[in-house]
Amino acid sequence: MIRIAIDVMGGDFGPDVAIPGAAKALERHTDVTFLLYGQKAICEPILAQFPTLRDKSQFFDCEVSVTMDEKPSQALRRGRYVSSMWRAIEAVKVGEADVVVSAGNTGALMAMAKFCLRTMARIERPAIAGIWPTTRGESIVLDVGATIGADSQQLLDFAIMGGAMARALFDIDRPTVGLLNVGVEEVKGQDEVREAGRLIREADLGTIDYRGFVEGNDIGKGTVDVVVTEGFTGNIALKTAEGTARQINTLLREAISRSFIAKIGYILAKSAFDVLREKMDPRKVNGGVFLGLNGIVIKSHGSTDALGFASAIDVGYDMAHNGLTAKIENDLKAYHARRLPPPAPEALVVDEEL
């Protein structure tokens, strides 16, 4: 049984999306129970419309809700211990839930998750991993906005964590991993990325198949299963891709609306457009995964609908079901065990005698 904690108040639409979303996810997974955190007076009438969900969940009344425009520090001050967001995260910490899902404010969610769950041993900064639709299927891109300006060691951590997530999500043994870089040779300033490439190669990790540098256009091609970059570039790449998809959609619509024949053509070709839309549907790949914390946190897009929220729950289900946290811990441990052998006890004794 997978136990999923939901911050029902998070996101642009709060319980209007989170509750129907959870109900949808429940249709797909019968081995799930929910812990719902929200304002009872608002949530109860909505929950009453989904009796199956109500029967499979416990509701916890929380007076405070973190708003979408609150600064992380402000959200922490106001919402620590008492908000629906905090209490949903805490359920994972105390072992009552296996994963938490929230469509709330990203900065506040990350701040609370770090404060409550803490980062894993030897992980300085967590990352947010996004699932990216590609020509081949799906890839993982991290970090998409948690750590601006990661150094080479952090990029290596991302490669290990992203590899573990790919094994949990795609059911492959040794996912391919690439470091996002620019193609121009001999350009100054990409030292971190080059150094990270050297570190990953030298680490010779058994859990990933490192393929070297990839460029921006490789993401959509699906050249590798996991694309590693620091958060500033990753966030901008993600939003640029979303913007380009929307732009093409807008331009095509405008062009079709200008011609009667084209409109008829569009209707006939609709099945093909539906396939495309389904493959590129941001709701289908909704769910950023926070990596590097002692617990699984899934961030749903704030403006998504019930279908999108259900996808975020699906991601959380997969991650919990496939033991993401243990996979990451083991992979990190294996790397560090080989890298930093403990000093031999004899040497210590000699030192003490001096």
Judged by CB under 8 A, the chain residues 153 through 172 that form the site for a second copy are: none
13/160 Cα distance (integer angstroms): 35
108/74 Cα distance (integer angstroms): 8
Q: Specify the residue, 36 or 179, whose C-beta has the smaller distance to a second copy.
A: 179
Q: Are the beta carbons of 117 and 89 closer than 8 angstroms?
A: yes
Asked whether position 137 contacts a second copy by CB under 8 A, the answer is: no
Among 41, 94, 184, 354, binds a second copy (CB under 8 A): 184
Q: Specify the residue, 29 or 279, whose C-beta has the smaller distance to a second copy.
A: 279
CB atoms within 10 A of CB 178: 24
> Could you tell me how far CA 205 lies from the centroid of its own chain?
23
Least Cβ distance, residue 87 to a second copy (angstroms): 22
210/178 Cα distance (integer angstroms): 6
Stretch that binds a second copy, among 45-53, 78-86, 164-172, 180-188 (CB under 8 A): 180-188
50/47 Cα distance (integer angstroms): 5
| Cα-based distances in Å from 81 to 67, 71, 172, 322 | 16, 17, 39, 29
Q: Are the beta carbons of 218 and 186 closer than 8 angstroms?
A: no
Both tokens of 124, joined, read 């300085």
Least Cβ distance, residue 153 to a second copy (angstroms): 15
Among 244, 303, 326, 348, binds a second copy (CB under 8 A): 244
64/280 Cα distance (integer angstroms): 36
Least Cβ distance, residue 122 to a second copy (angstroms): 20
Among 33, 58, 190, 322, binds a second copy (CB under 8 A): 190
Asked whether position 68 contacts a second copy by CB under 8 A, the answer is: no
Stretch that binds a second copy, among 93-101, 226-234, 324-332, 342-350 (CB under 8 A): 226-234
Asked whether position 77 contacts a second copy by CB under 8 A, the answer is: no
Residue type at 32 in one-letter notation:
V
**Mask 285-314, x = binds a second copy (CB under 8 A)?**
------------------------------
Asked whether position 115 contacts a second copy by CB under 8 A, the answer is: no
Among 1, 45, 94, 217, binds a second copy (CB under 8 A): 217
Among 48, 121, 172, 264, binds a second copy (CB under 8 A): 264
Q: Specify the residue, 97 or 224, whose C-beta has the smaller distance to a second copy.
A: 224
Asked whether position 12 contacts a second copy by CB under 8 A, the answer is: no
Stretch that binds a second copy, among 42-50, 77-85, 91-99, 267-275 (CB under 8 A): 267-275
Asked whether position 124 contacts a second copy by CB under 8 A, the answer is: no
**Which residue bears the tokens 């997974």?**
29
Among 82, 121, 269, 326, binds a second copy (CB under 8 A): 269
Q: Specify the residue, 97 or 238, whose C-beta has the smaller distance to a second copy.
A: 238
Q: At a CB cut-off of 8 Å and minimum separation 6, what does 302 contact?
A: 10, 11, 12, 68, 103, 104, 105, 106
Asked whether position 213 contacts a second copy by CB under 8 A, the answer is: no
Three-state secondary structure of 185-254? CCCCCCHHHHHHHHHHHHHCCCCCEEEEEECHHHHHHCCCCEEECCHHHHHHHHHHHHHHHHHHHHHHHH
Q: At a CB cut-off of 8 Å and minimum separation 6, what does 332 contact?
A: 120, 121, 122, 123, 157, 160, 161
Among 45, 55, 135, 352, binds a second copy (CB under 8 A): 135
